[in-house]
Amino acid sequence: MIRVLVADDQEMVRQNLRRILESEPDLRVVGEAADGVAAVEQARVLRPDVVLADIRMPRKDGLAVARELDLPVVVITTFELDEYVYAALRDGACGFLLKRSGPRLLIEGVRAAAAGEMLISPQLTVKLLSNLTRPRHADADLTDRELDVARLVAQARTNAEIAAELFITPGTVKTHVANIQRKTGARNRVAIATWAWETGYATG
């Protein structure tokens, strides 16, 4: 059972999100919050598997929620603005979904976050990656093997898939991922992917 905390300042939206999520047997909404401060407080008490947070909320927005929590946070919004997407991923969000993307993508996004994976609304992906492929200087001092792993993480490969491609064990991949996070300051795999695209290593 995947336990979800829903945070949105509109009660009707929260009710709709609850209805969509709880239509699936493996999803359960364990709490609701009407603003970002309440979302952070409830998340620290309830420890849900995933927090579903609107980008614009009173007192604290969804980006701040993602920054403050060490839990998977999926940011949802009606706004298709590049700076929101980029900021959300840099701040540690595990997904960025447009509300109009529909129930199925919302459910898949929550499941992906719970599994340690990422999901971005398809409408945003191409535009986001085109913005992130402008090479910038990166002084993270990654080894060649760590750069290989970062590139494959940016391509949404699992640890098992990366291990098979690089002829190493999944445990070694996990160690490399941890080293990459430490060296780049990335909070999770999504942030590693963002770093790789931003620096040009994702396609190197």
Cα 170 to chain centroid distance, Å, stands at 22
> pTM for this one?
0.67
The pLDDT, as a whole number, for residue 114 is: 92
Return the bridge partners of 152, or none. none
The pLDDT, as a whole number, for residue 107 is: 93
The pLDDT, as a whole number, for residue 201 is: 81
Domains and CATH numbers, the chain: 2-130 (3.40.50.2300), 133-203 (1.10.10.10)
Rounded-to-integer distance, Cα 39 and Cα 1, Å: 20
The pLDDT, as a whole number, for residue 137 is: 45
Which tokens in the block code for residue 75?
């940011």
Residues of the chain with pLDDT under 70: 79-83, 122-139, 204
Phi, psi angle pair for 32, to nearest 5°:
-135, 150
The pLDDT, as a whole number, for residue 51 is: 97
Rounded-to-integer distance, Cα 67 and Cα 73, Å: 9
Rg (CA), the chain: 17
H or E stretch at 74: strand 73-77
H or E stretch at 77: strand 73-77
